[in-house]
Amino acid sequence: MATNAERPTIIPGEAEVLVRRKVSLPVTLGRLAKKKPLGAVSLGVILLVIFAAVFADIVAPYQFFEQSVDDRLQGSSVQHFLGTDSLGRDIFTRIIYGARISLFVGIMATLFGVAHGSFWGLVSGYFGGKFDLYVQRVMDIILAIPTLIMALVIVATFGASLWNVIGAIAFTITPRANRLMRGTVISTKENQYIDAARAIGANNRRIMGLHILPNVLAPIFVLVSLDLGSVIIQEASLSFLGLGVPPPTPTWGGMLSGEGRFYMIRAPWIAVWPGVAITLTVMAFNLLGDALRDILDPRLKQ
């Protein structure tokens, strides 16, 4: 019979991590559909938009640059489901191809910004002291400047291109992830299992990576889903102001600008349908983020 000394020691943090790893993706999706049907519908809309963007070459009836002089400024018809613009290009096709840019910029900028901010939030929140003070003052400076103005300055300085837009938007959302991660780490590192891990000789890297990080990921996932919607709006705003992804690549914001404003009275569908696409996509991401927050946040389970 094994004595207490021979039994393996399980740190509470490790036990909690092991329990969390047993929760599979189908179980989470099932809970989402059961408890938050609106969130499940939003997830379906997002998956539909992603599918259309990835397989745009198959789904779109035309090429986004294909022009037809005879079909200029044509309303909804059998050949052109959502009408055409001033060059005879199909609006439905350009919206599908524009989804590629909006989703790619949204996903990449959100991942880069949240990952960068979370890293500094994890390190500064864990070590504290002057290092934490300096990092947070830098984040305060970034937060003091409106995000759109900062993104405009960065893109105007380095030039309008796909990766410059992604970098500018990622830089503006870094402080939010930093603050969220830092606050969660400060409250988590005071738990007893962190003291137990430190007592048995675990170094700082092991404590941060194994015992703290897995227990603070839930609010980060929620932040990612919520930031995706705001990032799509930022990309559309930059494109609307002429500092987004340059033509001829179609973007939802670019479709709202230029022809969308010039032909607002004569052919309103040129601006209406890209606006509808932006609204539905952003709303779907926001509703999904709210649903994930209600499910993953233990303080809201009641």
Q: Who has greater pLDDT, 24 or 121?
A: 121
Residues 87-107, buried b or exposed e (16+ Cβ, 10 A)?
A: ebbbbbbbbbbbbbbbbebbb
Question: Which domains occur in the chain, in start order?
Answer: 34-63+81-300 (1.10.3720.10)
d(CA 249, CA 281): 20
Asked if pLDDT for residue 10 goes beyond 70, the answer is no
For the chain, what percent of residues have pLDDT higher than 90? 8
| pLDDT recorded at residue 14 | 44
Asked if pLDDT for residue 12 goes beyond 50, the answer is no
Pick from 101, 142, 46: which is nearest to 247 by CA?
A: 101
d(CA 123, CA 178): 10
| pLDDT recorded at residue 30 | 66
Residue 134's pLDDT band (boundaries 50, 70, 90)? very high
d(CA 260, CA 273): 10
Residue 297's pLDDT band (boundaries 50, 70, 90)? low
| pLDDT recorded at residue 212 | 84
| pLDDT recorded at residue 251 | 84
Query: How big is the CA angle at 187 (ends 181 and 191), to the nearest 5 degrees?
Result: 130
Q: What is the pLDDT of residues 44-84, one digit of tens each?
A: 888 998 998 889 888 888 888 888 777 788 877 778 888 88
Average pLDDT, the chain: 80
By CB atoms closer than 10 A (0-12, 13-18, 19+), residue 202 is middle
Lowest-confidence region among 119-123, 170-174, 185-189: 185-189
Residue 17's pLDDT band (boundaries 50, 70, 90)? very low
For the chain, what percent of residues have pLDDT higher than 70? 86
